[in-house]
Amino acid sequence: MTDFTVHTLETSPENSQPQLESSQKTYGFVPNLHAVMAESPALLEAYRTVADIFDNKTNLTATEQQIIAMTNNRLNGCTYCMAAHTSIMQSHKVAEDVIESLRNGTPIADPKLETLRVFAEKVNLQRGWVEDTDIADFLAAGYTKQTVFDVIVGTAYKVLSNYTNHVAQTPVDKAFAKNAWKSDSESA
C-alpha cells in the first residue's frame, strides 16, 4: 500500500499552504481530507472551489445539499465523508430521521426530499444517464432544471473527496469519529 501524507501547514507544498490556512480558520482545525489533498495544490483548490460553489451558488437548502452529498458518499462507500457529513448535518440541525435515512440508504419520509435522494442516486449509479421520466418526476416534485444541474455539481464535489479518501485511506478526524460509518462491503 502506498502511504500518503496527512500534511500540516509546515509540511505541505507551498502552494497548498494558503488553502490549509483557510481550512484552519473555517473549521478550527485542518481536516485530514484537506491535509491529504494538500499533496496536490490543484486538487485541494479544486475541491475547496467546487465545495464553495455547491454550498453558496446553488439553489439548494443546506438539507438538500447534504442529501446529495450523503447519497454520493454512501453509494461510493466513503467512510470518511459519511462521518464528516453526518457531523455537518448535525451542526445544521438536519432532522435525525433524514440523517438516518441517508446513512442507511432508506427512503426519507418527506416526499420532496425523497425525490431528491432518488434522483441523486440515479445520477450517481447511472453516471448521469438518467431517463426523461426521472427528470420529469424530479421537476414534478417541485425542483427546477437548474436543480438537475446542481445535483451534478454536488456529485462532482463528492467524486473529488470520495475518490481521494479511497486512494489515500484518509483517517477520520477525531471531530467526526463519533459518527463513524461502515460501508456494506466493510460490514460483510
Query: Three-state SS across the chain?
Result: CCCCCCCCCCCCCHHHHHHHHHHHHHHCCCCHHHHHHCCCHHHHHHHHHHHHHHHHHCCCCHHHHHHHHHHHHHHCCCHHHHHHHHHHHHHCCCCHHHHHHHHHCCCCCCHHHHHHHHHHHHHHHCCCCCCHHHHHHHHHCCCCHHHHHHHHHHHHHHHHHHHHHHHHCCCCCCCCHHHCCCCHHHHC
Residue 45 lies in a domain: no
Residue 156 lies in a domain: yes
Residue 14 lies in a domain: no
Which residue range is the domain that position 157 belongs to?
59-182
In this prediction, residue 188 carries a pLDDT of 44
Residue 44 lies in a domain: no
Residue 53 lies in a domain: no
Residue 14 CA to residue 178 CA, distance in Å, equals 33
Residue 23 lies in a domain: no
Residues 6+ apart with CB under 8 A from 161: 33, 47, 78, 80, 81
Residue 107 lies in a domain: yes
The CATH number assigned to the domain holding 120 equals 1.20.1290.10
Residue 70 lies in a domain: yes
Q: Each residue's pLDDT tens digit in the chain (188 positions)? A: 789 999 999 999 999 999 999 999 999 999 999 999 999 999 999 999 999 999 999 999 999 999 999 999 999 999 999 999 999 999 999 999 999 999 999 999 999 999 999 999 999 999 999 999 999 999 999 999 999 999 999 999 999 999 999 999 999 999 999 999 987 665 54
The answer to pTM > 0.85 is: yes
Domain count, the chain: 1
In this prediction, residue 185 carries a pLDDT of 62
